[in-house]
Amino acid sequence: MGGLGHFLEDEGLPTVQISLVREHTEQIQPPRALWVPFILGRPLGVPGDPEFQKRVLRAALNLLEAPSGPILEDYPEEAPEADESEADGWVCPVSFAVAKDESLGGALGREIQQYRTWFDLGRQKRGRTMFGVAELEIEALGDFLVAYADGGDPDKPDPDLPLARILRSAADDLKTFYYEAATAQPGSPSPDDLANWFWTMTVGGDVTVKIWNRARASEDPEIKRLQGLIMPGEWREHFG
């Protein structure tokens, strides 16, 4: 990020950046940066709080009027603690373990149907969804991922893309489906609540773990890279 600021400014464009990792910004020294004390993925601090976001953006833009630089300023306002206030009232959605005589695909299909009404409601409420990068309907997406998780060699839905890229998008879409369904339910789960639920209590999580294990064992370098991409680092430690 800091490199971009350097190159653009060098070409004559005034820049200001938001910084999430202060140690990097200190070293790179872009022209103007506002370090913010928020979690990775939330550079403006709080979703659904336009005034909070605008205060952050205004503080960043104000640095464009600083007389000289490089300048690295700290943003003073913390985001509300997600794991305290946000989790109020949220209960982990019901999860369905795989029954002894049930296939992984059957269990996933059952779970998907159960959450579908919440996913649809969430999409309606927000007017958008992040689901769909893999360009597959949720049922076909589930079938594709389960086939791969079970050791099969499913047809690539897009012949022009590498299998590893498709698996990465599909795994992300599956998690997005679950997260958007869960956050449509009453209450406001924190990112940790959502991750704990997905990775330890859902069939969708089980399917992703199986794909991760297959990627770890793969001798195809591109597939092997998936092991570091489809699961956050702390969960790789957990399942490793």
Partner 1 sequence: MVRMAEIPEPSRVHIAALPCHDYETKPWVKGPPIKERRVAIISTAGLQRRDDRPYAFDANDYRIIPGSTSPGDIVMSHISSNFDRSGFQQDYNIAFPLDRLREMAADGEIASVAEYHYSFMGSTHPDDMEPTARHLAGLLKSDNVDAVVLIPV
Q: Report the alpha-carbon distance of residue 17 to residue 188 in Å, rounded.
A: 29
To partner 1, the closest distance from the beta carbon of 143 in angstroms equals 20
To partner 1, the closest distance from the beta carbon of 42 in angstroms equals 4
Instruction: Indicate the residue among 18 and 107 with the shorter CB distance to partner 1.
Output: 18
Half-sphere exposure of 46 (CA within 13 A, CB side): 19
The distance from CA 120 to its chain's CA centroid, rounded to whole angstroms, is 19
Under DSSP, the state recorded for 71 is: E
Q: Report the alpha-carbon distance of residue 25 to residue 128 in Å, rounded.
A: 33
Instruction: Indicate the residue among 127 and 186 with the shorter CB distance to partner 1.
Output: 127
To partner 1, the closest distance from the beta carbon of 107 in angstroms equals 23
Q: Report which of 60, 178, 202, 53 is spatially closest to residue 122, judged by C-alpha positions.
A: 178
Which tokens in the block code for residue 93? 């959605």
Instruction: Indicate the residue among 40 and 101 with the shorter CB distance to partner 1.
Output: 40
Q: Report the alpha-carbon distance of residue 71 to residue 16 in Å, rounded.
A: 10
Instruction: Indicate the residue among 2 and 105 with the shorter CB distance to partner 1.
Output: 2
To partner 1, the closest distance from the beta carbon of 210 in angstroms equals 16
Instruction: Indicate the residue among 105 and 209 with the shorter CB distance to partner 1.
Output: 209
To partner 1, the closest distance from the beta carbon of 222 in angstroms equals 7
Q: Report which of 232, 221, 206, 228 is spatially closest to residue 104, judged by C-alpha positions.
A: 206
